[in-house]
């Protein structure tokens, strides 16, 4: 084995743990927390859009318009580098969580809105006619059925989110990609390290697709297709 | 539940789907809303349920205005045309659903649900999901779901429309018994007159957004108050005048407004027409002369098409009597007919027949 091969092998072996650690400690929690919070925002925005209240639905529409119409990287820069100039200084992790939450909220709200609208009006009316209120009908009849419709597209957006977290490197967060950059800076082997990072992202998203498949199966039980 | 409806109206944009409908319903009655498709039956039912807001008019339950009550607070049960069972819940949960908002213990709910499942004859199927049931079974579950919370008013929108003819007849009888056993005031919509006549205590005929007539099936059939009701219920002959109909020559003079008698409608039921050889006819003097145009076998009787003057009439003739042939000259005795003119409706008997039987 020549020297260069040996050196690259050493770099791969030595960097694997730090990269995986960054992924498990920062990338995954960042994605999970942002996604969970984002779903709450998405549901609220979807309900606001469907509420029939002009003010609420106007606010939701405006929010989705802004987030979908501007780059996520630019949003992260505004939150992390921009807000301090009006006295609002946030760490890298909270900034990233806010940015990704808003993003999941906006795209997710469209998914959830479509899913709720896909549930026949008769299901609502049947719930009302046996004495349920709006929120009971929503919680017990509409959301469970809409979930089945929304799971596949929401799972897709979670996989996108895992990959998008690499943008947080640009606001100094030491997640997977930034650690890869840092090791590259000392080893001068960008091809090796960025490929290694890519493989770890691939592992994460592959595991997620399995989970997605399992969830879809679970939610489509007992529903005639 | 005692129900009163006053001048109920519903517009969809420019279109008046329900116009000035008023009626009362006594507690415990089973009412059939009957009429052609698009007449406004569903809309009336949905307004009673609170699923649709009336444009104007009043709905009173127990004498209290409920116009502004949402469906949850009206004490109703609704059976939807397409059942609308909750797809993600099994039979048990579907039926239990309405009970869970009432302040009941788990045990009470369970008892009530099993009571309902027994009532609808689906014992052993509590764990099934809607897609694992036949149409008739789903309909029964929808019925049990509506009935489980003990509503005071049960509303059913064409409950049998999507079920095949054979099962429909069974379900009909079943529903009739079920409702009388439970004793709940019920209104069901149908466009099938046989169904309405068979099931309902009283029928309301709805056409073009209006209530044409309300009464027992027999009343509505025997004493139709509008030409629409007369022609919608049962078979009938509609004529523009009574010229050359023996025994009714002066019929239109009985109307209040004699000057406009020309615009009257005359209706004759096939079973009010006796057709046959002169010696077979009960009162030949009161009969007209007619010409047989066609004869059709109708299972239990002959349907005879006969020409009298410029009218063509359909009449019934029993199978026991000698068979008539097209071209035969026959006596046609019309026992009675209905006469309509604007809001006036008259039931008239053959005058010659009356005079001769009075003379005896
Ligand atoms: N939500 C609606 N918007 C507009 N038109 C409607 C609506 N619901 C019913 N209609 C119209 O009102 C009329 C009566 O409908 P409906 O009550 O369903 O009649 P039926 O049940 O007697 O068939 C129909 O012409 C129908 O097209
Ligand atoms: Mg209808």
Domains of chain A: 3-220 (1.10.3720.10)
pLDDT score of B151: 94
- pLDDT digit string, tens, across residues B107-116: 999 999 999 9
How far apart (Å, rounded) are the C-alpha atoms in residues A94 and A96? 5
Q: What percent of chain B lies above the pLDDT cut of 90?
A: 54
| Residues paired with B78 in a beta bridge | B155
Cβ within 8 Å, pair A131-B130? no
What does DSSP assign to residue B83? B
Domain that holds residue B244: 237-358
* Encoded tokens for A88: 């609002």
The residue-averaged pLDDT of A151-168 equals: 93
3-state DSSP assignment of residue B16:
strand
User: CA angle at residue B122 from B118 to B126, to 5 degrees?
Assistant: 95
Mean pLDDT of the region B19-24: 96
Average pLDDT over all residues of chain B: 89
Rounded-to-integer distance, Cα A191 and Cα B16, Å: 73
Same domain (yes/no): B242, B221: no
Q: What is the pTM of this model?
A: 0.79
For tokens 């009449």, the residue is B315
Touching A: B residues 68-127, CB under 8 Å:
70-72, 76-78, 80, 82, 84-88, 90, 97-98, 101-102
SS3 string, B68-100, reads CCCHHHCCEEEEECCECCCCCCCHHHHHHHHHC
3-state secondary structure (DSSP) of residue B181: helix
pLDDT tens per residue, range A104-129:
999 999 999 999 999 999 999 999 99
Q: How far apart are CA B292 and CA B294, in angstroms?
A: 6
pLDDT for A225 equals 42
- Which chain B residue has its CA at the smallest distance from A221's CA? B88
**A223, pLDDT greater than 60:** no
DSSP states of B294-347? EEEE-SSEEEEEEEETTEEEEEEEETTSPPP-TT-EEEEEE-EEEEEETTEEEE
Q: pLDDT at residue B304 above 90?
A: yes
Residues B39 and B139 in one domain: yes
Number of domains within chain B: 2
pLDDT value of residue B234? 77
Q: What is the pLDDT of residue B261?
A: 62
Shared domain for B278 and B329, answered yes or no, is yes
Of the listed ligands, the closest to the CA of B33 is: 1
Instruction: Please indicate, yes or no, whether residues B91 and B221 belong to a single structural domain of this protein.
Output: yes
What's the CA-to-centroid distance between B43 and ligand 1, angstroms?
6
pLDDT tens across B340-355, in order?
Answer: 887 777 888 998 888 8
- Residue-level pLDDT at A68: 95
Choose among B32, B29, B25, B30: nearest CA to B196. Answer: B32
Q: What percent of chain A has pLDDT over 70?
A: 97
The band of B59, judged by pLDDT with boundaries at 50, 70 and 90, is: very high
Residue in B218, B151, B209, B143 with CA at minimum distance from that of residue B183: B151
Are the C-beta atoms of residues A208 and A163 closer than 8 Å to each other? no
CA B301 to CA B205: how far, in whole Å?
Answer: 28
Please give the share of chain B, as a percent, with pLDDT higher than 70: 98
Comparing B13 with B238, the larger pLDDT belongs to B13
CB contact under 8 A, A122 and B129: no
CATH code of residue B61? 3.40.50.300
pLDDT of residue B260: 64
- Choose the weakest-confidence range: B168-172, B201-205, B302-306: B168-172
Q: Is the pLDDT of residue B172 over 90?
A: no
Residue ranges lining ligand 1, Cβ < 6 Å = B 12, 17, 35, 37-43
Q: By the CB < 8 Å criterion, does A131 face chain B?
A: yes
In this structure, the number of other CB atoms found within 10 A of the CB of residue B249 comes to 13
Q: Are residues B69 and B185 in the same domain?
A: yes
Q: Is the ipTM of this complex over 0.95?
A: no
Are the CB atoms for A142 and A123 separated by under 8 Å? yes
The domain boundary, picked from B202, B225, B248, lies at B225
Residue of B88, B98, B101 with shortest CB distance to A145: B88
Phi-psi region of A222 (alpha: psi -120 to 50; beta: other; left: phi over 0): left
Shared domain for B271 and B183, answered yes or no, is: no
List CB contacts (< 8 A) between B77 and chain A. Answer: 129-130
Chain A touched by B175 (CB under 8 Å) = no
Q: Residue B211 CA: which ligand is closest? A: 1
């Amino acid at each position: 084995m020549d020297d260069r091969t040996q050196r690259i092998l050493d770099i791969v072996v030595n960097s694997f743990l730090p990269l995986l650690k960054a992924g498990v400690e920062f990338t995954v929690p960042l994605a999970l927390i942002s996604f969970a919070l984002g779903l709450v925002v998405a549901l609220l925005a979807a309900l606001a859009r469907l509420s029939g209240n002009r003010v609420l639905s106007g606010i939701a529409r405006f929010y989705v318009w802004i987030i979908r119409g501007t780059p996520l990287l630019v949003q992260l820069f505004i939150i992390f580098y921009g807000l301090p100039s009006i006295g609002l200084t946030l760490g890298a992790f909270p900034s990233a969580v806010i940015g990704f939450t808003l993003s999941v909220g906006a795209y997710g709200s469209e998914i959830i809105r479509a899913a709720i609208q896909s549930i026949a009006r008769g299901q609502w009316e049947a719930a009302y006619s046996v004495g349920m209120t709006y929120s009971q009908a929503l919680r017990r009849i509409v959301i469970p059925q809409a979930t089945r419709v929304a799971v596949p597209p929401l799972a897709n957006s979670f996989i996108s989110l895992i990959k998008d977290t690499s943008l947080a490197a640009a606001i100094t967060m030491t997640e997977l990609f930034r650690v890869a950059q840092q090791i590259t800076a000392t080893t001068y082997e960008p091809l090796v390290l960025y490929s290694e990072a890519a493989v770890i992202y691939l592992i994460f998203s592959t595991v997620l697709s399995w989970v997605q498949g399992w969830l879809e199966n679970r939610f489509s039980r007992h529903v005639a297709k | 539940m005692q129900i009163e409806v006053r001048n109920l109206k519903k517009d969809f944009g420019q279109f008046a789907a329900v116009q000035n409908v008023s009626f009362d319903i006594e507690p415990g009655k089973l009412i059939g809303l009957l009429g052609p498709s698009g007449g406004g039956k569903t809309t009336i039912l949905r307004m009673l349920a609170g699923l649709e807001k009336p444009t104007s008019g009043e709905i009173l339950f127990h004498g209290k205005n409920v116009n502004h009550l949402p469906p949850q607070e009206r004490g109703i049960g609704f059976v939807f045309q397409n059942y609308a069972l909750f797809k993600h819940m099994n039979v048990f949960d579907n039926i239990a659903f309405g009970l869970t908002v009432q302040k009941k213990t788990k045990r009470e709910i369970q008892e009530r649900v099993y009571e309902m499942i027994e009532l609808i004859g689906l014992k052993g199927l509590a764990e099934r999901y809607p897609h694992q049931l036949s149409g008739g079974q789903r309909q029964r579950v929808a019925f049990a779901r509506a009935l489980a919370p003990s509503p005071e008013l049960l509303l059913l929108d064409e409950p049998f429309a999507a079920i095949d003819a054979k099962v429909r007849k069974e379900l009909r009888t079943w529903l009739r018994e079920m409702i009388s056993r439970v004793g709940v005031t019920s209104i069901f919509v149908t466009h099938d007159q046989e169904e309405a006549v068979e099931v309902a205590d009283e029928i309301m005929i709805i056409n073009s957004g209006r209530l044409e007539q309300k009464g027992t099936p027999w009343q509505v059939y025997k004493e139709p108050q509008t030409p629409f009701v007369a022609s919608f219920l049962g078979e009938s002959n509609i004529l523009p005048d009574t010229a050359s109909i023996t025994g009714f020559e002066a019929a239109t003079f009985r109307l209040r407004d004699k000057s406009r008698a020309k615009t009257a409608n005359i209706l004759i039921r096939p079973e009010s027409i006796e057709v046959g050889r002169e010696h077979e006819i009960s009162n030949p003097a009161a009969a007209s002369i007619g010409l047989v145009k066609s004869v059709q076998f109708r299972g239990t009787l002959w349907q005879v098409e006969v020409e009298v003057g410029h009218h063509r009439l359909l009449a019934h003739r029993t199978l026991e009597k000698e068979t008539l042939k097209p071209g035969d000259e026959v006596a046609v005795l019309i026992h009675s007919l209905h006469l309509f003119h604007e809001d006036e409706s008259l039931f008239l008997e053959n005058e010659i027949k009356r005079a001769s039987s009075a003379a005896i």
